[in-house]
Amino acid sequence: MTELSIAVLGAGPAGAAVALGLRRLGYQTCVVSEWRRFAAVEGVSQRVLDGLRQAGLERALASADAPTPRKVLWNGDGQSINQECLLDRPRFDAAIREDLYAAGVAVIEARVLRVESSADGHLIHLDSGEPLRADFLVEARGRQAPLAGGRLRGPETLSLLNQWQESPGRPGSAVESLADGWSWMARLADGRCYWQVTLDANSGELPAKDELSAYCARRRGDSVLVRRLFGDVALQPASLHARSSTAILFHEAGGPNWLRVGDAAMAVDPLSGNGIFQSLSSALQAPAVINTLLQCPERADLAQRFHQQRVEQLFLRFARTGRDFYAMEQRWSEQPFWRDRRQWPDAEPLHTPPDFGQVRVQRLPVIRGDLIDEAEVVVTADQPLGIWHLQGIELAPIVRSALRGELEPVLVALPVEQRRMVQGWLLGQGYR
């Protein structure tokens, strides 16, 4: 393999997952990152933990707390649905670095000031030391990555992160809808407490910066859930950090010698609770895309199309999931915050009812081994990017037979277990 140098900007979950994947493919990879400038607590589901394991981020995975119950107070209904694992982000981010060091990935602790890019490579200017040269650049600086023009942008949204200390106790989290937004709160076992309120950034109703902390404390005083989860300290002003949480799909997810992954490619509304999941999803596919761009430049268009389409589909799926969740809150549906979000990004349903008449076979990009290739896949209204295999069984030949009315001999030739699985899948696609 040619000795090409790859620079990954940003050591969040996305940048780290790409760096580890490239390292496994034998590329000389260097990560450049500064530390996050604020602390936060985040909640993740089991599938994020699965993604971290798949990425080889074992120490980051181990830094997640055990699942704790999450209370939900939405549309006036109070219920405890499922669980989530709490992540203390500074601890999680430090564990990510340890995973990188353990895998032998070079990490430069520096702030990237500016990048000069051309067809020949990239010159990365840092706040310390000499500029760094790289043949290929992975942009993974999250929401701080320079804007390359937003293709799709949700309603402007702001989150105010508040933290304070109480005595150690039982951990837990809760989410609550408010007339002008929603809040998420968590208590870690060591007594660290976190309350995050998400509001419309353009509402014009927020006080001046130096009054925000007291404003948040007053709002906590109005919440039943806050009183249940925290002690009296919660009603005092706390340390505060303001962050944009607008959903953004960036204009282009990649070019011949660069790729955007994670929040740098698309940042979703935190309501989805899926930010880390989406950042890992785009990052896990990136090593095969980069490998193709570097080793098979004749397939560059295919590889770029693969990455772009997956990023866009994922973004739309999360945006529509968020929209439907906003629509479930009916008490304030005409308030600007709720009105704008229950109709963005469009009116398309999250899932389309199955219709076998719409199912077709098409040649589309897929990951084959460590490269992007083209293969015949089955495209359905719900899976526009196509499905190649069902647990190892190639679906295109089966669907072709079904469309020709010659399914029976194909099914009979399959072992019983596989036959049942394929029959179940076909029924799920509306095949009768």
Closest CA to 196 of 246, 271, 87: 271
Does 125 bind ligand FAD (CB under 6 A)? Our answer is no
Among 11, 55, 226, 402, binds ligand FAD (CB under 6 A): 11
SS3 275: helix
Q: Tokens 């106790």: give the residue.
A: 169
Which of residues 42 and 200 has its CB atom nearest to ligand FAD in the complex? 42
**Contact between 144 and ligand FAD per CB under 6 A:** yes
Q: Name the segment binding ligand FAD (CB under 6 A); options: 58-66, 209-217, 229-237, 272-280.
A: 272-280
Among 245, 281, 285, 304, the residue binding ligand FAD under the rule CB under 6 A is 245
Q: From the CB of 245, what's the least distance to ligand FAD, in Å? A: 4
What whole-number distance in Å separates Cα of residue 331 and Cα of residue 190?
A: 36
**Rounded distance between C-alpha atoms, residue 96 and residue 59, angstroms:** 7
| Residues 19-58: x where in contact with ligand FAD by CB under 6 A, - otherwise, as a string | -------------xxxxx-----xxx---x----------
Among 56, 275, 322, 365, binds ligand FAD (CB under 6 A): 275
> How far apart, in whole angstroms, are the C-alpha atoms of residue 304 and residue 297?
11
Nearer to ligand FAD, 118 or 128 (CB): 128
Residue 316 has, within 13 A of its CA and on its CB side, a CA count of: 17
In the complex, the smallest distance separating the C-beta of residue 317 from ligand FAD, rounded to whole angstroms, is 15
Single residue of 6, 7, 8, 10 touching ligand FAD by CB under 6 A: 10
Q: Answer yes or no whether residue 15 interacts with ligand FAD by CB under 6 A.
A: yes
Distances (CA, A) of 40 to 173, 176, 302: 14, 18, 38
Residue 216 and residue 379: Cα distance in Å, rounded?
48
Residues linked to residue 375 through DSSP beta bridges, in sequence order: 364
Tell me the CA distances in angstroms from 144 to 26, 45, 154, 182, 307, one per residue in order: 29, 24, 17, 24, 21
Strand, helix or coil for residue 409: helix
For residues 50 and 40, what is the distance between their CA atoms, to the nearest angstrom? 22
Structure-token pair, residue 339: 């009105």
Q: Which stretch binds ligand FAD (CB under 6 A): 214-222, 269-277, 310-318, 330-338?
A: 269-277
Closest approach, Cβ 19 to ligand FAD, in A, equals 11
Residue of 57, 89, 10, 2 whose CA lies nearest to 270: 89
For the CB of residue 218, give the shortest distance to ligand FAD in the complex, in Å: 20
Q: For ligand FAD, what does the binding mask look like between residues 162 and 201, x meaning CB under 6 A?
A: ----------------------------------x-----
Q: Work out which of 51, 270, 322, 386 binds ligand FAD, going by CB under 6 A.
A: 270
Main-chain phi, psi angles of 307, to 5 degrees: -65, -50
Residue selected from 7, 14, 271, 289 as contacting ligand FAD according to rule CB under 6 A = 14
Token pair 């293969």: residue:
375
Indicate whether 243 belongs to the interface with ligand FAD (CB under 6 A). yes
One residue of 140, 185, 240, 294 binding ligand FAD per CB under 6 A: 140
DSSP summary character for residue 222: T
In angstroms, the CA 390 to CA 284 distance is 20
Q: Which of the ranges 6-14, 73-81, 203-211, 318-326 carries the binding residues for ligand FAD, by CB under 6 A?
A: 6-14
**Of the two residues 71 and 111, which places its CB atom closer to ligand FAD in the complex?**
111
**Residue 429 DSSP class:** T
User: Does 320 help bind ligand FAD (rule: CB under 6 A)?
Assistant: no
Asked if residues 264 and 249 have their Cβ atoms less than 8 Å apart, the reply is no
Binding footprint of ligand FAD on the chain (CB under 6 A):
10-15, 32-36, 42-44, 48, 93, 111-112, 140-142, 144, 159, 196, 243, 245, 262-264, 270, 273-277, 279
